[in-house]
Amino acid sequence: MTDKKIPARLFARAAQDAENAKNAVTMPQTQSPSYRLAFQDNEFLLREDLRPVRFQLELLKPELLLDEAKIASTFVFYGSARIPEPGKKSDNPDPAIAARLEANAHYYEESRRLARIASNFPRDEDGERQFVVCSGGGPSIMEAANRGAGDVGAESIGLNIVLPHEQCPNNHITPSLSFQFHYFALRKMHFLLRARAVAVFPGGFGTFDETFELLTLIQTGKIKPMPVVLFGKAFWNRVVNFEALVEEGVISPKDLQLFDFVETAEEAWECVRRFYDKV
C-alpha cells in the first residue's frame, strides 16, 4: 500500500473536458445549443438571469490574478481623462475650455511623479508588493500614473471599462494587470479592495462618483480610513463648496478631515507617510 501513488484528483479538469467537447460527433443532438458545456456557452452566460454569475466572475477574476501577482496593496489614482500632457494641445473645440485644460497639464506630471515615488516602495518580508499604482486604465491622469510606474521599472494596474464609444487601455499598463469590466460597481469595488492610499486629481463625473463614494464609505465606517489626497485646492474649492456642506449641517466639521488638499507629488507622499507613521 505504501508503494501506491494516491491520485491527486479523480475528475478530469474543465480544460480537458472543454477540449474533448470539440471532438463531439456531429449530429443534431450535439449541434444544439443545449449540448454546449455551460461554461463555454456565451449565449447562456449572457442571459439576463445569469447576471449574478457574471457579477461573481467579474469580482473573482481580477482578485485571483492580483493575488497571484503578489499585490498586497495599491495606490489608486483618480482623475480626468481630458487633461492633456504638458506641451500638448487639448482637443476641446472651445478655446477658453481648451486653455483651462491645458493650464491643468501640470497635474499630468504630478500624477506621473507620485506614481514613481509610490512604485519605489519596497516589497514586504513575504515578497508582496505594497502601494502598486492602480488607475482607471484610460488616458491623461490615468496614463500618467501608469507611465510613472513604468519609468522606474515597476508594474502597474489598469481597470478599464467597456463604454459605448471606443475605450482602449493606455499602453503603459502592465499587460498581465490590465483588466476590463462590464459593471461599474464591480470596477469600483476592485479600486478599493486593495487600496491603501488614493490620489484624486481634477476630474468630472467619473472622478466625483469614485471620490465621493470613497469618502462616504470612510465617513460611515464601512471601510477603515486611509490617506485621501485631493490635488488642486483651488479647483476643488471652486467646484465643491465643502464649507457650505458643513454650514448646511449635511456633513460634520470632522468630515473635512477625511482628506487633505495637496499641490505636489511630494506633499501627497508626505500625507501617506504621516498617516502610516501614526498607525
**Interior CA angle at 162 toward 199 and 152, to 5°?**
40
Q: Which residue has the cell 483618480?
A: 78
CA distances from 32 to 24, 27, 29, 35, 38 (A): 12, 9, 6, 6, 13
Average pLDDT of the chain, as a whole number:
94
pLDDT band, residue 8 (cuts 50/70/90) = confident
Q: Which range (37-46, 150-159, 215-224) has the least confidence?
A: 37-46
User: Does residue 49 contact residue 177 with C-beta atoms inside 8 Å?
Assistant: no
Say yes or no to pLDDT of 165 above 80. no
In the chain the domains, ranked by start, together with CATH numbers, are 54-278 (3.40.50.450)
Residue 78: per-residue pLDDT: 98
Question: Which ranges in 162-261 belong to alpha helices (H)?
Answer: 184-193, 205-219, 233-239, 242-247
Residue 1: per-residue pLDDT: 58
Strands (E), 129-186: 132-135, 157-161, 178-181
pLDDT band, residue 3 (cuts 50/70/90) = low
User: Does residue 158 contact residue 179 with C-beta atoms inside 8 Å?
Assistant: yes
Residue 72: per-residue pLDDT: 97
181-201 per-position pLDDT tens digit: 999 999 999 999 999 999 999
pTM over cut 0.75: yes
Bin 140: left if φ > 0, else alpha if -120 < ψ < 50, else beta: left
11-29 per-position pLDDT tens digit: 889 999 888 888 888 889 8
Mean pLDDT of 249-274: 98
38-68 per-position pLDDT tens digit: 999 999 999 999 999 999 999 999 999 999 9
Residue 148: per-residue pLDDT: 98
The dihedral built from the CA positions of residue 84, 232, 264 and 252, taken in this order, carries a sign that is: negative
